[in-house]
Amino acid sequence: MADESVTTFQNLLREFRGPLVEAMKWKTVLLSEVKRNKNPRIWQGKQITIPVILAPQQGSVTTTETGTLPLAQTIDDVQAVITTAIIEHTISFSTQLIKQSRDTGDTSWASVMPTKMRMAEAAISRIINEQMCGSGTGLLASITASATSLTQQVGVTANFYQLYANRVVDVRTQTTGADAGQGLARKIASNNPASPGQVIFSTTQTVTSGGSGNLVTTGSNTEGIYIQNTGPGTGTWATPATGTGAVGQAMGGLGGAAAGSGTTFQGLSKTTVIQWRGTDGRAGSSTAVDPTIGVFDAAERQAMIYSGSLPDFYLADPFVVDKFSQGITVQAQWAGEPMTLESGWTGVKYRNRAIIPEYDVAAQTAYGVSTDDCALYALDDGPDWDSMQGGELQRFSRALPVEAWLVWFVQFGFTRCNSTIRIQNLNQAT
Using one digit for the tens of pLDDT, what is the confidence trace for 65-109? 888 877 766 665 678 888 888 899 988 877 776 666 655 555 666
Q: Give the pLDDT band of residue 22 (cuts 50, 70, 90).
A: very high
pLDDT of residue 103: 56
pLDDT for the residue 75: 60
| Per-position DSSP letters for 335-350, written without gaps between them | ---EEE-TTS-EEEEE
Return the pLDDT at 209: 57
The DSSP code sequence of 207-265 is SGGG--SS----SSS-EEEEETT---TTTTSPPPSSSSS----PPP-HHHHH--TT-EE
Mean pLDDT confidence for 98-124? 74
pLDDT of 244 > 50? The answer is: no
Residues 381-397, mean pLDDT to the nearest whole number: 86
The whole-number pLDDT of residue 79 equals: 83
The greatest distance separating any two alpha carbons of the chain, rounded to the nearest whole angstrom, comes to: 88
Beta bridge partners of 180: none
| 277: DSSP letter | S
Q: 339-359, pLDDT tens digit by residue?
A: 999 999 999 999 899 999 999
183-205: b (≥16 Cβ within 10 Å) or e: bbbbebeebebeeebbbebbeeb
Higher-pLDDT residue of 426 and 233 is 426
- Residue 179 is classified by DSSP as B
Q: What is the pLDDT confidence band of residue 231, given thresholds at 50, 70 and 90?
A: confident
Check whether 23 has a pLDDT greater than 60. Answer: yes
CA 188 to chain centre: 20
Of the spans 181-195, 334-348, 357-371, which averages the highest pLDDT?
357-371
pLDDT recorded at residue 372: 94
pLDDT of 237 higher than 50: no
How would residue 64 be classed by pLDDT, with cut points 50, 70 and 90? confident
Q: Which amino acid is at 378?
A: A
